[in-house]
Amino acid sequence: MSNSTGAFGLQPIGMDNGSSWNGAVEKVYISAAYGAALYIGTPVIISPTTAEKEATGRYQTVNIAVATGGVYYGVIVSFEPNPDNLGLLYSPTLTEGYAYIVKDADVVFRVRGDGSGAPIANYIGANAAMVATTAGSTYTGLSGWHLDETTPAETVTFPLRILGIEDKEDNDLSDNAIYRVKLNTTGLAAGDRLGELGA
């Protein structure tokens, strides 16, 4: 039976030591000047644009991360409710708001493969890039980002470290598998270094 294909971005499922994720998050700012929509499960970086910075200095300002690498700051898990639209599940383009991100370097995430490769056992333990096949769903609020199944390798700048595929009956090591991963290029790694594999 083939795997399902729906994207959901990166979802925290536990810690690398086997314990449960404790739900710890950081509140971050999204500038009204930022020209892209943000969704739950999207990886983010700290905004390099001075004009986007949050004025009080209390919160980091974030942008969408680069799919193929760079130092990731965290992953969006929710948004602060918009009082003008309480049913809104994502952050529209050019809209000021706040999101909550997971940034712990030891959090394990689940992410679906994009169906572009032929996954084999050698993928496990390798690093992988990501790909945004769609921006995300305005209905569910979930990200359209996948793990890029064509690229896993010992490449230090790739943002994900593959730990294995999710252990569930309807998930096979084939196209569109659901993988367990850690952020390989997190700014919280020792010495803010890029990567654990190939460093």
d(C-alpha 147, C-alpha 129), whole Å: 6
Q: How confident is the model at residue 192 (pLDDT cuts 50, 70, 90)?
A: very low
DSSP characters over 102-118: E--TTEEEEEEB-S-S-
User: Within a domain: residue 94?
Assistant: yes
CA 149 from centroid of its chain's CA atoms: 16
Total residue length of the chain = 199
- Does residue 195 carry a pLDDT above 60? no
User: Within a domain: residue 2?
Assistant: no
User: Within a domain: residue 199?
Assistant: no
User: Within a domain: residue 68?
Assistant: yes
- What is the DSSP-derived secondary structure letter of residue 59? S
d(C-alpha 162, C-alpha 183), whole Å: 9
User: Within a domain: residue 113?
Assistant: yes
Number of domains making up the chain: 1
pLDDT in tens, 32-59: 999 999 999 999 999 999 999 999 999 9
Choose among 188, 185, 131: nearest CA to 161: 185
Which helix (H) or strand (E) segment holds residue 76: the answer is strand 74-79
User: Within a domain: residue 133?
Assistant: yes
**Which tokens hold the place of 33?**
């000047």
Q: How confident is the model at residue 188 (pLDDT cuts 50, 70, 90)?
A: low
Q: By residue range, what is the domain housing residue 63?
A: 11-192
CB 196 within 8 A of CB 161: yes
- What is the DSSP-derived secondary structure letter of residue 149? T
User: How are the residues of the chain apportioned to helix, strand and coil, as percentages rounded to the nearest 5?
Assistant: 5, 35, 60
